[in-house]
A = this chain, B = another copy of it.
Amino acid sequence: MQDKEITIYDLAEKLNISAATVSRGLKDHPAINKKTKKKIMDLAAELGYRSNKFASNLRKQKTHTIGVIVPRLNSLFMSSVISGIEKAVNTAGYNLIISQSFEKEAKEKTNATTMFNSRVDGLIVSLAADTRDFSHFDTFIKKNIPLIFFDRVAEDIQCTKVLIDNFKAGYQATAHLIEQGCKEILHVTGNITRNVYRDRFKGYKKALADAGIPYDPDLFITNELTEQEMQTAMADVLQRDKLPDGLFITNDSSAAFILTILKDAGVKVPEDMAVVGFNNDLISRVTEPAISTINYPGNEMGENIARILINHLDGEADLSFTSTVILNSELIIRASSQRKK
């Protein structure tokens, strides 16, 4: 440390007032004289005073920190959610700690522990692909630390959830493929114990049913969504006698990757197979053909999440804390699925 850190005592001494008054003045306490306040503020600015959060948190037993655990940060969707959260949180004077589970339950658990030990005032989570056990959230619930899930939610935990209507999105994507003349629609998705995948799958099945197309289990592939597994799964599909004529794939990166596999196999998109992805990541726009996809309001979702949490923390909206917020999503039609003019 170069310059010594300035404390409220230093300010108090120089102004010949008490530390208590300085403390109050700094946070605009109503009982303090305007002039005194101004003197305090000015001196603080001049001396480069910064409040010591540790002392303050220690005293107040509140950290003004919010934790976020997400599977990964490398999608447009996630970064817009985070950006939305950050915006709302910053303006409310809270800090953010972000960590990634890399789709692993084990990492999610240690992340949750770290968050707990950092005494976050609230926790925002989108679950890892392989999380089956939710006991790492028990400590939060027990201590009444508010918990919000978004996108990939834990359905058995009673708390606020913010997500899109995955059933509807799955339905729309599938209905669109049917409308384009597809009859054998392959659905490639993640593990359906996770709500997002299960609901999309339900929407897919309902759209088939509504169109009088029987559901064929051979046209349903679920895996960990890695390139490796996509490769294997598609190799298998492409060896079948009867190829599917439509693909509904649960995320754009996988859809883009599968497009390269189809290309290598000489399958024409959309003529032989029409393709719909999910997320509206940049990647869906640069492939040849561009991929039809479901667009989700990441930023809006982030801001919503943060606002709900902060209102709760600031004690303004205790009541509606265990609600579910559904945001709109939309189908964006591009060349990969467009067969009719």
A residues within 8 Å of B by Cβ?
A: 1-3, 48, 50-55, 57-58, 61, 63, 72-76, 78-79, 82-83, 86, 90, 95-100, 102, 110, 114, 116-119, 139, 142-144, 253, 256-257, 259-260, 263, 282-283, 285-288, 290
Contact = CB atoms under 8 A, between A and B. Distances in A.
B283 A282 contact: yes
Contact of A286 (B63, B97, B102, B257): B257
A86 B74 contact: no
Contacts of A99: 86, 96
Contacts of A78: 73-74
A96 B97 contact: yes
Given A100-B79, A144-B1, A260 B283 contact: no
Contacts of A57: 54
A100 B114 contact: no
A3 B95 contact: no
Given A51-B117, A54-B58, A288-B288, 9 more contacts: A48-B139, A73-B73, A73-B78, A73-B79, A74-B74, A83-B100, A95-B118, A260-B286, A282-B283
A117 B50 contact: yes
25 contacts: A1-B61, A1-B143, A2-B142, A2-B144, A50-B119, A53-B54, A54-B54, A54-B58, A54-B63, A73-B74, A73-B78, A73-B79, A74-B74, A74-B75, A74-B76, A74-B78, A74-B79, A83-B100, A98-B98, A253-B286, A260-B290, A283-B283, A283-B286, A286-B286, A286-B287
A54 B97 CA distance: 16
Contacts of A79: 72-74, 100
A329 B53 CA distance: 41
A119 B95 CA distance: 12
Contacts of A116: 50
A143 B96 CA distance: 23
A98 B116 CA distance: 17
Contacts of A282: 253, 256-257, 283
Contacts of A285: 257, 260
A253 B288 CA distance: 15
A114 B79 CA distance: 20
Nearest to A75: B74
A177 to B, nearest CB: 21
Contacts of A263: 288
B83 A102 contact: yes
A288 B335 CA distance: 14
A58 B52 contact: yes
A152 B53 CA distance: 30
B100 A143 contact: no
Residue among A63, A263, A283 with most chain B CB within 10 A: A283
